[in-house]
Amino acid sequence: MFFKFDLLTSALSLIFLVESSVIAAEAEDRSSTTISLYGGPSSPTPLLNLVRLNIPELASFYNITTALNRGIWTDSRFVALELEGSVAFQLESIQNTAFQGATLIRWLEPPSNKVFKSSVALGMGVSYAINPPEIEIIVLPKTANLLMHVLIEFAADLDLSSTWQGLFRIHHRSGAYGLFSGVVGGSDYLCLGIRYRI
């Protein structure tokens, strides 16, 4: 009798723990999905010079991008891996729309966290433009529809619940030193934006 009761109790406890774990995992999955909107002017300044914080030259070509980002793994403290798909609209022409896919690694504990909650991300993937951005046509000897996509981002929480974030992002397309269609050089956009955690 006691054995059956203990067995039943153990089974119910196990079911409760499994269901609780599933609910927690689903909640964590929901919180790791974000949608972003960002935009800004282009810059003919090479990406490496931008990373070195050299003062950029700005050009009168503009980009507005919307992105859907999904966290796929994190140790919850130092680093996270994410997948992102985005659509970039060049304001010069709607026909210059580009589609990006990238894998990101995010540093969750940069030094700025001592002042406010923030993160730094680096992403790499591919970008397919229906028509290459006009700045690439003007600045580069040659360009192509399919190029490498790189993003560098700094994000900071705008509220205590981390639902909203502000971000600065370098949005980059290039031939990866000739790896894509022999294209050398690329285009960069210096963007400000906002992110919402779904």
Condensed to tens digits (0 to 9), the pLDDT of residues 9-65 reads 444 444 443 344 434 444 444 458 999 999 999 998 889 888 888 888 899 899 999
Same domain, 26 and 66: no
Residue 22 and residue 46 share a domain: no
187 or 2: whose pLDDT is higher?
Answer: 187
Same domain as 183, residue 140: yes
pLDDT on residue 31: 56
At residue 98, the 3 state secondary structure works out as strand
Same domain? For 94 and 23 the reply is no
Partner residues linked to 104 by β-bridges: 82, 123
Give the Cα separation of 6 and 178 in Å (integer).
Answer: 68
Q: Which CATH number goes with the domain that contains 99?
A: 2.40.160.20
86-127 pLDDT, tens per residue? Answer: 999 998 776 789 999 999 999 999 999 999 999 999 999 999
- Whose tokens are 């964590």? That residue is 28
Q: Are residues 179 and 82 in the same domain?
A: yes
**What is the rounded radius of gyration, in angstroms, for the C-alpha atoms of the chain?**
22
Task: Please check whether residues 27 and 42 belong to one and the same domain.
Answer: no
10 and 66 belong to one structural domain: no
Tally the domains of the chain. Answer: 2
pLDDT of the residue at 68: 98
pLDDT (average), residues 143-160: 96
pTM reported for the whole predicted model? 0.82
Say if residue 5 is in the same domain as residue 94: no
Lowest-confidence region among 21-25, 109-113, 144-148, 182-186: 21-25
Mean pLDDT value across residues 126-138: 93
| 40 and 26 fall within a common domain | no
Which residues contact residue 48 at a Cβ distance below 8 angstroms, ignoring those fewer than 6 apart?
Answer: none
- Note the pLDDT of residue 1: 46
| Cα distance between residue 38 and residue 193, in whole Å | 4
User: What proportion of the chain, given as a percentage, has pLDDT over 70?
Assistant: 84
Q: Are residues 65 and 127 in the same domain?
A: yes
Find where tokens 């190029």 sit.
147
Indicate whether 25 and 52 sit together in one domain.
Answer: no
- The residues that bridge with 106 in the sheet, in sequence order, are 80, 121
User: Is residue 17 located within the same domain as residue 91?
Assistant: no
In this prediction, residue 25 carries a pLDDT of 43
Q: What pLDDT score does 6 carry?
A: 52
Domain membership of residue 8 as a residue range:
1-31
